[in-house]
Amino acid sequence: MKNVTFRQLRVFLEVTRHLSFVRAAEALHLTPPAVTMQVKELEAAVGLPLFDRQGRKVTLTTAGEYFHVYARRLLATMKDAEDAMARFRRVEAGVLSIGLVSTAKYFVPRLLARFREEHPGVEFKLQVTGNREQLLTLLHAKEVDLAVMGRPPKELATRAEPFAAHPLVFVAPPGHPLLAEDHPPLSALEPYPFLVREPGSGTRKAMEDLFREHQVTPRIAMEMSSNETIKQAVMAGMGLSFLSLHTLGLEVGSGMIRVLEVEGTPVMRTWNVVHLLSKLLSPAAEAFRYFVLEEGEAYLRAHDAPLLPDRRRADLS
C-alpha cells in the first residue's frame, strides 16, 4: 500500500458517500472514467476489491468497509496537519469545512457570503445533514472543522459557543380555527393532526419536551425528514407543525403559513458554533468562528423580528 495517494483516498470516500461513480465524479468535477481509474489503482495498491459493482449499483465489500474507516482517519489527520501549518503561516486561505443541521441551511449561507467579503481567499465546503445525529457523526470523524447546531453535544468532547437565539413556533395554514383564538393553551392543539420531524431531529426533541412538560399528547399524523416537505403539507391544510422560525421567512412573509400565538411560545433555544476540543482550528476556521459569534445574533434578530407579533419580539432580546 506504499503507492496509495491522498487523491485516491478522496475519490474513494466520495464514491462511498454517494455509492455512485457518476455522482462522485460530479462532486469532484471529474469524469466518470477518471474516478473509475483512481479506484482501480487504489484497489490494485490495496490488493483487494473495495466495491461490488452490479450494473449501476455500487456497494462496499467487507474489505472496503474496513478501509473506509482508515481512509477517513488518514484524511482527517492530513487536514489537521494542513491547519497546523496554516497557523504557522498565519494565512486565511484554503478550504473551510462546515457541517450544518438542515434547519441552519436557511441562514448560514448568507453569513458565509458576508464573511467571504472580508476573507476572499477562503473556500467553503458545506455538509448539510438530515438531523443532529448525522452531524455528530461528521464531527466525531473530524470531517468538518466547525458545526452549526442547536443542542450542544454531550456525547463528544467539544467546545460549544452560543451565538444567537433560535425561536421555535407552532404554525398553521391560513384560516385555521386556532388563529381566531387569543393565546390558546397548548392543550387546545390536541385535537388537530400534527406533521413532525423524524426522531433524532433537534426540533422533534424540543417539541416532545414541551408537550411532555405540559402533559399534553399531540396527535401525530405524519413524520417527515424535511422542513420543506412539512411546510408544503401545512400549506396544503394537512395539519399543524412545530418548526424553527428560521425556516419560515418566505412562507410567513407571504401569508402562506401563519404563526400560532400559543401560550408559552416561541420556545427559545440557541444556535451554537461547535468544534472538537481535540481539533486544531485553522486560521480560516478561527476567523469564521469569531465572525459568527460577533455577527450571527444581530443578523438573525433582524430576520426574526418581522415574523413575530409585536408583543413577542421582546423575547428575541
Residue 299: exposed, middle, or buried by beta-carbon count in 10 A (0-12, 13-18, 19+)? middle
pLDDT at 314: 46
Cell of 58: 455500487
**Residue bearing cell 428560521:** 246
Q: Determine how β-strand 158-172 pairs with β-strand 240-244.
A: antiparallel
Checking if the pLDDT of 253 tops 50, the result is yes
CA–CA separation, 57 and 215 (whole Å): 48
DSSP state of 43: H
Query: Are 139 and 99 within 8 A, CB to CB?
Result: yes
CA–CA separation, 47 and 63 (whole Å): 10
Which bin fits 224, alpha (ψ -120 to 50), beta or left (φ > 0)?
beta
Q: What SS3 class is residue 24?
A: helix
CA–CA separation, 315 and 210 (whole Å): 17
pLDDT at 91: 56
pLDDT (tens digit per residue) in 188-237:
999 999 999 988 788 899 999 999 999 999 999 999 988 999 999 999 99
Give the model's confidence band at 150: pLDDT under 50 very low, under 70 low, under 90 confident, else very high: confident
Give the model's confidence band at 313: pLDDT under 50 very low, under 70 low, under 90 confident, else very high: very low
Q: How many CB atoms neighbour CB 97 within 10 A?
A: 19
pTM of the predicted structure, to 2 decimals: 0.67
Strands, E, within the chain: which ranges? 51-54, 57-60, 94-101, 122-129, 146-149, 158-172, 193-197, 219-224, 240-244, 258-260, 267-276
Describe the chain by its helix, strand, coil percentages, rounded to 5.
50, 25, 25
pLDDT (tens digit per residue) in 110-147:
999 999 888 888 888 899 988 888 898 888 888 899 99
Q: Determine how β-strand 240-244 pairs with β-strand 258-260.
A: unpaired
